[in-house]
Amino acid sequence: MWRRFRPRTNSKRRFYPAVKSNNQDLMWAITAGRQLNATSNVTVKDPYIPEHKFEDFAIVPEIKRNIASKKYTSPTPIQDRAIPTILAGEDIIGVANTGTGKTAAFLIPLINKVFMDRSQKTLIITPTRELALQIYDELAQFSQGLAIRSALCIGGTSLLGQKRDLSQNPSFVIGTPGRIKDLIGQRCLNLSQFGNVVLDEVDRMVDIGFIDDIKYFISLLPVNRQSLFFSATVGPKVKEIIETFIKNPVTISVKESDAIENINQDVVKVDRSQNKVDKLHDLLIQDGFNKVLIFGRTKRGVQKLTNELTSRGFKAGVIHGNKSQSQRQKMLGMFRRSQIQILLATDLASRGLDIEDVSHVINYDLPASYDDYIHRIGRTGRANKKGVALTFVG
């Protein structure tokens, strides 16, 4: 029987990098991160000094009060540059690292636009249900007391309820490509009515196979519209979408590099003679592993690992594609409130989710790509806090 607080080995053991890896980009990223951690004379960047304050923006006082109630003090770089540009009616391409506050960067000016002109309608398309829900919740907070209707259109929840919400002529529709396509097919959603469109995390939508759907949606949109395009990376396929979606945009890039300097990156080497789950167990009982996000490759794998950890006495939950939306939201809520210590996930959770105070990200299985690695570890070390990212190799 496992005892929750007793390590099987020395809990102060240090971890050393593997010598070889098939994923050279990934190992380069981890090695660069470890070297950065070990360097004593790292140049400390001056804090960003915004050109604006939230009270300076040309938005109505009601929205400013809602911003203040969220305890936002100074705009992040993407907010500082994007908000006035969007308020001016410009189309933009926003390129920014994960966790930089881009959701507020487009919601604040769009809410103001709708408040000033109730005929305006905004469509926001995101790659995952979790990100759509997060945007939907932030919209509710920023628009509190403004009588602005919105509809959330995602899979795993009632289609009938979403049809009912759309029939009430909401000013904002937030959804994922699959469900939006279903609603268009059932003539419940007419994209020609939307004069404002946001494509968020476009690189992720391309990665998971939605490029044709995005092109289809673009073909249904009105020619005269304000188009906002956000992506952490801009590869060839993303450029292909940009060319069809947006004309003469203002490009706002606040992405400095993929190296995340406030995340301590390291590897955990697992020899063939060692049990990988035992190694993970010995990590999780160490001091400081307070709120841990563990990534695995497959739905079956993360579920099996979750079952094993809970049998060992850990407070753990899991989200993956086989879970219903209500189950996924329940687990996320429990993790946010620290009712569970550990959340396991597939790459479903690597983009867009903003969960406070994640102490560690553990890559139990190697990510498929360098970009996936960066997005996974970006779940920790957010809001200028320190975080740790560990990757199992062997």
pLDDT band at 385 (very low <50, low <70, confident <90, very high): confident
Q: Do domains 24-42+261-393 and 54-253 have the same CATH topology?
A: yes
The pLDDT mean for the chain works out to 86
Q: Report the CATH number of the 24-42+261-393 domain.
A: 3.40.50.300
**CB 365, CB 146: distance < 8 Å:** no
**CB 393, CB 268: distance < 8 Å:** yes
DSSP-derived secondary structure for 201-237:
SHHHHHHTT-HHHHHHHHHHS-SS-EEEEEES---HH
The amino acid present at 127, given as its one-letter code, is: P
Q: Is the pLDDT of residue 394 over 70?
A: yes
> What pLDDT, in 10s, does the model give residues 17-36?
333 344 566 666 665 555 54
pTM above 0.85, yes or no: no
Looking at residue 369, its pLDDT comes to 80
Measure the CA angle with vertex 112, ends 125 and 104; round to 5°.
Answer: 50
Q: Which helix (H) or strand (E) holds 134?
A: helix 129-142
Q: Is the pLDDT of residue 221 over 70?
A: yes
Looking at residue 139, its pLDDT comes to 98
> What pLDDT, in 10s, does the model give residues 286-328?
999 999 999 999 999 999 999 999 999 999 999 988 888 888 8
Q: Write the CA distances from 19 to 16, 27, 280, 393, integer angstroms.
A: 9, 9, 20, 10
What is the CB neighbour count within 10 angstroms for residue 216?
15
Homologous superfamily (CATH) for 54-253: P-loop containing nucleotide triphosphate hydrolases (3.40.50.300)
Domain ranges of the chain: 24-42+261-393, 54-253
